[in-house]
Amino acid sequence: MIIGEAEFCQEFFDDVALSEEDVIGEVDQGWPMAQTMLVFERGGGVTDSAALEDSEGAFAPDLVALARRLGKDKDPTVRQLIGRAHVNDTVERLLRQRIVDVVSSGTVNGAGFAAYGKLGAGLFGSERARLGMQIGGGGAITWESGDAEAMSPAVDYLLGRIRAIAGGTNEMQRNAIGERVLDLPREPAVDVDKPFREIARNAGAASRSA
């Protein structure tokens, strides 16, 4: 990763045997199961109220601590930036709560509606990382060796695009919202109703001929 750590791997399972008891849901009905997984991945399946209220009332505590550590907590510009982060934090928390409430009602396409939360996280995450760098300035990119707290603004900035990409990009979330919530027409696709092996084979042939 860009921060020098490794969080990714490939796992291979050899000689795995599964029985009928291992089937989740109905046979040949895997897509509904995948959609349920997407609801949770996008944050629409959170039911723990503590997880939804973990930042309620807290005024961007990490950024406040950063400003105090650098002696900038009285700077009016810095205070405005912290206030902006607090507003964004509050909006994201209330958005997550709203999504959970609506998805739990069963009146909407859960995976599509939960995309609002994933999109919000992708947008707010990078914005918050930038705010940390604006507040910290040079003090956000230098620190004593081993000072994890001091290095966190720089690490957050380097990883600021994670939520906009991992688990489905912002563009994918917009597509999900457009097609599954707003009922907009789907983008043209040539791979509908084709097995993946055929799609992969055609894509390989196209790349070789290019």
Report whether pLDDT(55) > 60. Answer: no
pLDDT in tens, 62-96: 999 999 999 999 999 999 999 999 999 999 999 98
Contact 118, 43 (CB under 8 A): yes
| SS3 of the chain: helix, strand, coil, percent, to 5 | 60, 0, 40
Q: What is the pTM of this model?
A: 0.73
Highest mean pLDDT among 39-53, 136-150, 190-204: 136-150
Highest mean pLDDT among 7-11, 46-50, 141-145, 153-157: 153-157
Q: How far apart are CA 73 and CA 136, in angstroms?
A: 11
Residue 50's pLDDT band (cuts 50, 70, 90): very low
Cβ contacts of residue 146 below 8 Å, gap of 6+? none
Residue 9's pLDDT band (cuts 50, 70, 90): confident
Q: What is the mean pLDDT of the chain?
A: 85
Report whether pLDDT(17) > 50. Answer: yes
Residue spans of the domains in the chain: they are 45-185
Q: Quick one: fold of 45-185? A: Butyryl-CoA Dehydrogenase, subunit A; domain 3 (1.20.140)
Report whether pLDDT(11) > 80. Answer: yes
Q: Which of 183, 163, 41 is nearest to 114 (CA)?
A: 41
Report whether pLDDT(129) > 60. Answer: yes
pLDDT in tens, 138-183: 988 888 888 888 889 999 999 999 889 988 899 999 998 999 899 9
Percent of the chain with pLDDT over 70: 89
pLDDT of residue 2: 86
- What DSSP string runs through 17-66? ---GGG--SSTT-HHHHHHHHHHHHTTTT---HHHHSTTTT---HHHHHH
